[in-house]
Structure 1
Amino acid sequence: MTQKIKVWDGAVRFFHWVMVLLVAGLWFSGTEGYIVLHQLMAYSLAALLIARIGWGIWGSQSARFSQFAASPKAAIGYLRNTKPVAGHNPASSYMIFTLLALLMLQIVSGLATFDNSYMNDGPLVALLPGSWVDLASAVHTVNIDIILILVTVHIGFALWHSWRYDNVIKTMITGNAELNSVAQPELRSSWRFFLMLAALLLLMYYWQGRVLLALL
């Protein structure tokens, strides 16, 4: 029997769509050379990612990494017998973890990336050997292309899944899904996530944001 259940809390949905906007903005600002704006969005993304990692440990059931982490066998089995689930499915979990890891790598490499203007180098550039800075800069340049490719693949599979099975895109917007014989996940109030995010954004502001905002 089909029933409407709440799958995603406000924290997960906020993270998902704001991350999409920030990644798009980071790509555009980096490509066009708007370095100050690029760095401001990078620190915002860093705060968002750290908050999501925290929510993946202490948050709602469907948001916790322990709930959707899956073995390769489970992921392959799911692809052979695809069906709607309340949350991330075993196959998509690998994409989620990969994107989170690559985004964190992009942030860290950006902290050690050299900028030709000499004004907006990453804050770690002055602390690291030149060879490390060169490596970080190279990783930062290549890694964004990998991220964009994986994001495109992720969007493609989400569209395909929404067409063939259940509308996961709509579910990520509304938080609700109509599923058969699936238990309601335990959802926690999202205020803890937003409080954690606000604290991290404030920390980023006092670390680097004040200086960058003055340069706009």
Structure 2
Amino acid sequence: MLIKVQVWDLAVRVFHWSQVVLLAGLWYTGNEGLMAQHQLLAYTLAALLIARICWGFYGSASARFSHFVASPLAAVRYLRRPVPVLGHNPAGGYMILALILLLSLQLLTGLATFDNSYISDGPLVRYLSEEWVSLASKIHKLNIDLILLCVAVHILAALWHSIRYDNVIWAMLSGYSKTANRNDAPKLRASWSYFVLVAALLALFYYWQGAVLLRFI
């Protein structure tokens, strides 16, 4: 008999679905040249991402990197014989790491990207050499394609897994999944400290750049 248990805390779920909205907004504003809005969305994503990385070390058991970062061999074995897993499966854990690294690279290069205007130039452009700015700008434009590719693979894998095995999409929405043993449920922590950290980072980014960018909206 399967028992419903909570697997994902509010911090993980808010971060996960916020990425969907923010990446869509970043893609749209970047293509439309709405650079003040683009940077404000980027700082919002940066606050959520930095807080998520911290949450990966001290947060709920299912959110910690030590919980879902498995060996490459374990990931290969899982892909050969997928089974329902509470939390991120071994293969999915590598996708999470890849997305975190790619998003971090995108945000960092965005700080040093040059686009011929005061609004759209990254705040670090003035401090870096022309060669570094040019490199950062090229990486920023190419890296978004890698991010979108990984997102597409992630969505397809989640859909396939939800149809064939267990509904991981609903689990990430509701926070709950099913298991045969209640003792398998991960130990969750209250998410308030994650949101406090997000708020503090947003305040810091607003003080640094946000107040200036809001003038151009």
TM range (shorter): over 0.9
For residues 61-210 of structure 1, the aligned pairs below 5 Å read: 61-181=61-181, 183-210=184-211
Give me the TM-score of the superposition, normalised by structure 2: 0.98
The SS at the match of 1:215 is coil
The SS at the match of 1:154 is helix
Larger mean CA deviation between 116-125 and 172-181 belongs to 116-125
* Cα deviation, residue 31, structure 1: 0.8
Moved over 3 A (4+): none
* Cα deviation, residue 184, structure 1: 1.1
**Is 2:15 aligned against 1:12?**
no
Larger mean CA deviation between 176-185 and 33-42 belongs to 176-185
Q: Deviations over 1:139-168 (max 9, x none)?
A: 000000110011001000000000000000
For residues 4-43 of structure 1, the aligned pairs below 5 Å read: 4-43=4-43
Partners in 2 of 1:151 and 1:90 — Cα distance? 17
Q: Deviations over 1:7-53 (max 9, x none)?
A: 00000000000111101110111011110000000011110100000
Partners in 1 of 2:79 and 2:181 — Cα distance? 20
* Cα deviation, residue 181, structure 1: 3.1
The SS at the match of 1:120 is coil
The SS at the match of 1:201 is helix
Unaligned runs of 5+ in 2: none
Residue 16 of structure 1 aligns with an amino acid whose one-letter code is: H
The SS at the match of 1:177 is strand
Partners in 2 of 1:195 and 1:2 — Cα distance? 35
Quote the RMSD (CA, aligned, Å): 0.9
Partners in 1 of 2:123 and 2:50 — Cα distance? 19
Give me the TM-score of the superposition, normalised by structure 1: 0.98
Equivalenced residue count is: 216
The SS at the match of 2:115 is coil
Q: 2:119–2:213: 8 Å Cα contact kept in structure 1?
A: no
Q: 2:35–2:119: 8 Å Cα contact kept in structure 1?
A: no
Partners in 1 of 2:77 and 2:181 — Cα distance? 20
The SS at the match of 2:215 is helix
Unaligned runs of 5+ in 1: none
* Cα deviation, residue 180, structure 1: 2.6
Q: Deviations over 1:112-146 (max 9, x none)?
A: 00022233310110000001000000000000011
Among the aligned pairs, what percent are the same residue? 60
